[in-house]
Amino acid sequence: MSDQRFTPLRERHEALGASFTDFGGWQMPVRYISDLAEHHAVRQAAGIFDISHMAEFTVRGAQAGEFLDYALAGRLSALAVGKAKYSLLLAETAGIIDDVIVYRLEDDDFLVISNAGNRDAVREALLARTSDYDVVITDVSDDYALIAVQGPQAETILAATAGIGDVSIPWSEQRYYAWATATYAGRPLLLARTGYTGEDGFELLVTAADAATLWDQILAAGSPLGLIPAGLAARDTLRLEAGMPLYGHELTLDTKPAQAGLGRVVVTAKEEFVGKDAVEPAADAPVLVGLVAEGKRAGRAGYSVVDEGGAVLGEITSGALSPTLGHPIAMAYVTPSSADEGAAVFLDVRGTRIPATVTALPFYRRTK
């Protein structure tokens, strides 16, 4: 279709034999070898992901920090230069327009990275909130590519990657949810120690023109250490094991932060922010829980969660047979009365009731 979009790494994916799928209007690699092989590589060594479909916005101006305090749910004005913070962009109803990561580049210069499918909604919401602030919002998404290297070998691989130079902070001193500057091919490269897999790793913001050669150099450095390309299927099972929400599944315009377990992201002490007056959910509003089951039949998004008598308690938002843990896991919104850890429920898997237990998130946590 003419409206399908491809990242600057399209030719690399095709050469590697990737299967593609539509994701947020982009044709993205869903797998290269196999979902399981790619998942296990990230847990045991490392995987390299193309995440160039994500959207990037610069927020610049004398009141950039104050503006983001108003526009987002967190207190971004307190973020130190060199650090990053997860936050939420709320509607007036306190429903979630998107979840974002904010990087403070300078005192008056921030970078906001949002989900690909929400690029237009995020841009429009940010621009609509600028009227009282000395700030300029610029959509720079098409200027950059974003490459993620995730797994226990990520730091070693990137430190050995040819062409990355002028690293502002030694690799071993770079902290989680922080960033460093570097260069690649003589042009600026942003190294963020962030990710969406539950493993250590980095996300590299590089100019679109340099993305393909950087991809090649990372693969060359990492292949001897077990690095392989990984697609969206592995990324989804990895983030599910790590209990990380996905927009359109756990997060929607009908979801308030506290329902999704993200009440901590909202700084209600702020004098004003969009959505503040509606941020508290109703007492009977469904809440997000983890579910574990035995056997091999996994509940999928849209399947019902029921009680012993078959009464519907809620609905699964994401589910899979966990490659790491070996049993079915799921996230679901259920009634508050059935959300206690250890509660027994059932998954309605195509007419068969599968016993499950409510559990705390995440399902998986790395040990180092």
Residue whose tokens read 């120690």 = 193
Of the candidates 84, 131, 98, the one whose C-alpha atom is nearest the C-alpha of residue 24 is 98
Report how far residue 83's alpha carbon sits from residue 91's, in angstroms, rounded to the nearest whole number: 26
Report how far residue 90's alpha carbon sits from residue 273's, in angstroms, rounded to the nearest whole number: 9
Beta strands at 164-165 and 187-192: parallel, antiparallel or unpaired: unpaired
Mean pLDDT of 48-69: 98
Percent of the chain with pLDDT over 70: 99
Contact in structure between 74 and 88 (CB atoms under 8 Å): yes
Beta strands at 46-50 and 227-229: parallel, antiparallel or unpaired: parallel
Of the candidates 202, 183, 185, the one whose C-alpha atom is nearest the C-alpha of residue 194 is 202
* pLDDT at 368 > cutoff 90: no
- Note the helical H segments in the chain: 10-15, 35-44, 64-71, 119-128, 154-159, 211-222, 232-241
The pLDDT, as a whole number, for residue 45 is: 98
Residue 3 tokens, joined:
């409206």
CATH of domain 10-54+142-241: 3.30.1360.120
The pLDDT, as a whole number, for residue 132 is: 95
- Look over the chain and give the mean of its residue pLDDT values, rounded to a whole number: 97
- Global pTM reads 0.96
Percent of the chain with pLDDT over 90: 98
CATH class (in words) of the domain with range 283-368: mainly beta
pLDDT tier at 1 (50, 70, 90 boundaries)? very low
Count CB atoms within 10 A of the CB of residue 194.
Answer: 19
Of the candidates 286, 361, 287, the one whose C-alpha atom is nearest the C-alpha of residue 330 is 361
Mean pLDDT of 86-95: 98
The pLDDT, as a whole number, for residue 367 is: 83
The pLDDT, as a whole number, for residue 242 is: 98
Residue whose tokens read 């012993």 = 308
Contact in structure between 42 and 151 (CB atoms under 8 Å): yes
The domains of the chain are located at 10-54+142-241, 283-368
Mean pLDDT of 7-11: 98
* pLDDT at 2 > cutoff 60: no
pLDDT single digits (tens) 230-239: 999 999 999 9
* pLDDT at 265 > cutoff 50: yes
The pLDDT, as a whole number, for residue 4 is: 86
Mean pLDDT of 33-52: 98
